[in-house]
Structure 1
C-alpha cells in the first residue's frame, strides 16, 4: 500500500522566482526591460547588480530547457502562443475512442502503460462504457497509483462480470481488510476515483476509493447480483450516499493557505457534500490553515488523525 500513501512534497529552490518571472512577462502589455525585471520581480533583488543579471541569465536558460523561451536581450518578452500548448478538447466520440484504445491495448510492452493512462483519463473526467460509448466529465483528478495488474483486474472483472478481491485500508493507520466486490462501475466523483458494486459478504452495495485499496485480483467467480440501471457517476454517487460517506462541514480559514478546501467553501463557510474520508484527511493535512468547526463528529475525526500523526 506504500505507493498509495501520502508523501512529503518539496518545493524546488528557485521555483518561486521562475514562476514570478514568467507571470510578470505574461501579464505585461509589452516587452519589459532587464532593469524593470531586476527591480520588480521578486527574487532578483541582489546587492550586486552583476549577480542579479547572472541569476536572470541562468533562469532564462533553465526556463528554455523546459520549453519556455524568453526573447530579447535588453527588452524581454514572452509569447504565450509559442510557450503553451493549445487547449485540447475532445468530442464524446473522440474521447470514447481514446479510452477504448488505451483499455484494449494488448501489446505486452504497452499493456500496463495503457491501463495506467486509461485510469488517469478516467480520473480526469473520461469514463468509457463499452456498451454505450458514454463519457462523463467530473472534477479534479484524485491521486491513485495502483499497479498495472490491479487496474487490469478491475477492467477484466467489469468486462466479464467477475468478482474482485482486494485489500481495503479504512485509513492510513488501520490494518487492511480483505474484501470482495462484484463491480458495477469505475470512475471519478468530485475529483476522487472509485470502484462501486455489490459486496456479496455484506449483501449490499459498497463503494471504495482507489487510493484506499491495493492487491486487486479478478477471481474465477462470476457475479451473481445484477448491475442496476444508471451511469457510472450515478452508481458511484448512489453508493457514497448509501454508505453515508458524504458529509457537509463548516470550516474557518485563519490565514492564507488550504486552497484545495478554500475553493470548495461557499459564502457561509460550508463545504459539501464531499466524501468523508477524503475531507478528514485533507483537513488534517492542511492544519492549522483550516479549522473544522462542525459537525462535532467530523471535528473529532480530524483531531484523531492529527493526534495519530504526532505519535
Structure 2
C-alpha cells in the first residue's frame, strides 16, 4: 500500500474515533475503513494503525461497549487529544504551526470531508464539534501558497518576483523561508533574504508569477528560538483596524464570539426563525468578509456598510 493511502487511512481512523460520542466496536471500524481486507489482514492493519496513532501521541482508548458483554470498543476523547504545552525544535514548530492554520486548505479539507461523509453515510453518530480543536476558519487561497508551503517543509530556497507598494515594477527576490503565517487577514512568509543578508517578511498576495525553488532540499536551518508570529508582527506593516457589528444566530459562529469585544443577546434579527445576538468586533480590515461568508445565513453584517457591500457583492458573484 502506498504511503499516501496509509496516511489517508490513519487520518480517517483518527477522525472516526475523535468524532464518536461512544466507544466504537471493532467490526464497525472494519466495515467502514477496512472493508476490502480479510480478517487476518484487518487485524494486522488495525493493530499497526492503533499503535502508530499512539506513537504520535494520539490517546486511543479501549473500553467496554456493554456491561454484560466483553466486546471492546475504541474512541479518542477530544479533551485528552487537545495538545498540552510542548517544546519543539524551530523547524518542527514552523511545520506544526503552519498545519494548524491550514486545516481547511483544499488538500486537507477534502480528506476530512470524505472521512466525515463516509461515517455519516454509514449511520455513525458523529460529533463534529470535536474537530474544533484544530479548526481555524482560514482560507489558504493565495496562488503562491502551495509552493511556499512545500519549500518550507523541505527547507528549499525560493526565487520569486515581488511587487511592493509604491514601486513601478516587481523586483526579483531570493529567500530561505522560515515560516508562513496569517497576520491581519493576510498570509505572509517570513525568512532570510539572501540578497540583503537579513530577515524579511513578504505578503504572498504580492508575489508575481510563479515562485521557483533554487538549490537542494535541506539547504538551511531555521534559527533556534524563532517566534514566527512575533517576528512577522514586528516586520510587517501595522494593520488597519475597523469596528464591525454583526448579527449572529443564537449558538452559531463560536470563533467570532470568542473574538468579540461585546455580545448583546436576544436582539431583533433579519428573520424570526431563531434568536439573534449582536457582536461588536475590532478587527483588521482584510479577511473579515471571508469569515462572515463562511457562516452563511447565520451571520448578518449591520455595519460598516463597506463590509456589508463586500459580502453582498461576493454572494451575487457566486450566484452569477
Sort the TM-score into its range (normalised by shorter chain). 0.3 to 0.5
> Comparing both chains, which one has the higher relative contact order based on Cα–Cα distances under 8 Å and sequence gaps of 6 or more?
2
Q: TM-score, normalised by structure 1?
A: 0.44
Bigger strand share = 2
